[in-house]
Amino acid sequence: MSAIVLASGSAIRREILENAGLCFDIVRPDVDETAIKTAQTNNGTNPADIALILAETKALAGDQNNGNLVIGADQILAFDGKAFDKPTSMEEARTRLLAMQGNYHELLNGVAVAKHGEIIFRAKNTVTLHMRKMSVVEIDTYLDAAGTDILSSVAAYQVEKLGARLFERIDGDYFSVLGLHLFPLLQFLRDQKAISF
Amino acid sequence: MSAIVLASGSAIRREILENAGLCFDIVRPDVDETAIKTAQTNNGTNPADIALILAETKALAGDQNNGNLVIGADQILAFDGKAFDKPTSMEEARTRLLAMQGNYHELLNGVAVAKHGEIIFRAKNTVTLHMRKMSVVEIDTYLDAAGTDILSSVAAYQVEKLGARLFERIDGDYFSVLGLHLFPLLQFLRDQKAISF
């Protein structure tokens, strides 16, 4: 049975896999995500494929070629035809929420598994989130209450916390919203006999 | 500003509202849910309407006619044309999972708000969950690992925990899967000026 490794610094992905009862180690892959995103965007790669390329890159970077199954994952926000990364300041988060309110946006997930230096599994999916119309006052009230924790999210909100109050509809399963396309990953790990059920 | 009261003994509904930043009191309504379900089922009421009737009954039972906004909620599982309540034993949970594996089922949510002895808000929705094909051994492994905690769920699993490993697809937002049709409820509370955003 191969050991499972999560190549990610993401607290929420770790929590999802822990809650699902998986035993795994964690490594933080040394990947310059911003450089990859910029290069791929300039190449004209579509955002969903960029998420997958980043997932694969992280999985390969975390793979020590010892037979472990190394999971990489990434999530990109797509809005109005453009891809967005995590906001770097509350002001940037504010600008983004002001643009996104009253409209829908997409979260694009990529997940991959590397073993012996090769990608042996990849999957991607998209979830759609409909943000309700909000006034500037409402958005500022939210940002004050939610605080800088939201800067850890690609989308400038945490739907599992106060961010729930920004939405009128979410089309997509919980794990995908949080940043992990979980079900096909679990099926792959079952097929590999890395988990018992 | 009216105070908010949750008329429910459900830990997960309490957690959802707390995570969304609401301040509220909790009362446990004295409602014989089983008697109502049985009577309504015998009347030929469809399961989605039964969930709504139960939500309204709980909201009214928790309403002390003091101007508070009293939230009631219920969730019913529908599978193969029949409505199901929480399993009462691990053996019943096992029988149900054996029947549901490899098929889809629905979770039907009802939510209502009472004030001054009247229902002033009601909403319902349905989420669809696709359970993967599983062997008897897999189901027994799951039940052993998950333990009696699952008996608190109408569906004999907790998707936010080990239950994630039973599924291949979930069509519905997280809150609705857990048992609360949250977004229209929040909008109603905003309209009532019971929450600030």
Q: What pTM was computed for the model?
A: 0.93
Beta strands in chain B (DSSP E): 4-7, 25-27, 69-79, 82-84, 104-115, 118-131, 167-171
From B16, B161, B173, residue closest to A170, measured CB to CB: B173
* H-type alpha helices, B24-154: 33-43, 47-62, 90-100, 136-146
Percent of chain A with pLDDT over 90: 90
* CA distance linking residue B161 with residue B150, whole number of Å: 10
**Residue at token pair 């939510």:** B111
Residues 6+ apart with CB under 8 A from B182: A164, B16, B20, B173, B175, B176
**Residue at token pair 């309204």:** B56
User: Which residues does B contribute to its contact with A (CB < 8 Å)?
Assistant: 16, 19-21, 132, 134, 137-138, 141-142, 145, 159-162, 164-165, 167-175, 177, 182-183, 186-187, 195-197
Nearest 5°: the CA angle B156, B162, B168 is 85
From A159, A162, A171, residue closest to B21, measured CB to CB: A162
H or E, element range at B178: helix B174-178
Tell me the per-residue pLDDT of A114-136, one tens digit each, with 9 for 90 and over: 999 999 999 999 999 999 999 99
Where in the sequence numbering do the catalytic residues of A fall?
Answer: 74
SS3 content of chain A, % helix, strand, coil (to 5): 45, 25, 30
Of B32, B49, B74, B140, which residue is the catalytic one?
B74
Give, for all 197 residues of chain B, the pLDDT tens digit.
689 999 998 999 999 999 999 999 999 999 999 899 999 999 999 999 999 999 999 999 999 999 999 999 999 999 998 888 889 999 999 999 999 999 999 999 999 999 999 999 999 999 999 999 999 999 999 999 999 999 988 888 999 999 999 999 999 999 999 999 999 999 999 999 999 99
**Residue at token pair 């209502």:** B112
The answer to whether residues A8 and A70 touch, using CB atoms and an 8 Å cutoff, is no
Beta bridge partners of B110: B74, B124
**Residue at token pair 């892959």:** A29
CA distance A40 to chain B (A): 30
Which amino acid, one-letter code, is at B142? Y
* Beta-carbon contacts below 8 Å between A and B: 87
Residues of chain A found within 8 Å of residue B195, distances taken between Cβ atoms: 165
* CA distance linking residue A165 with residue B41, whole number of Å: 35
Residues of chain A found within 8 Å of residue B132, distances taken between Cβ atoms: 187
Asked if B183 and A167 come within 8 Å (Cβ–Cβ), the reply is yes
* CA distance linking residue A166 with residue A3, whole number of Å: 39
Q: Is B74 a catalytic residue?
A: yes
ipTM of the modeled complex: 0.91
Q: What is the pLDDT of residue B81?
A: 86
Q: What is the pLDDT of residue B2?
A: 83
Comparing CA positions, the residue from B190, B155, B147, B151 lying closest to residue B172 is B155
For residue B136, with 0-12 CB atoms within 10 Å meaning exposed, 13-18 middle and 19 or more buried, which class applies?
exposed
The DSSP code sequence of B139-150 is HHHHHHHHGGGG
Domains of chain B: 4-191 (3.90.950.10)
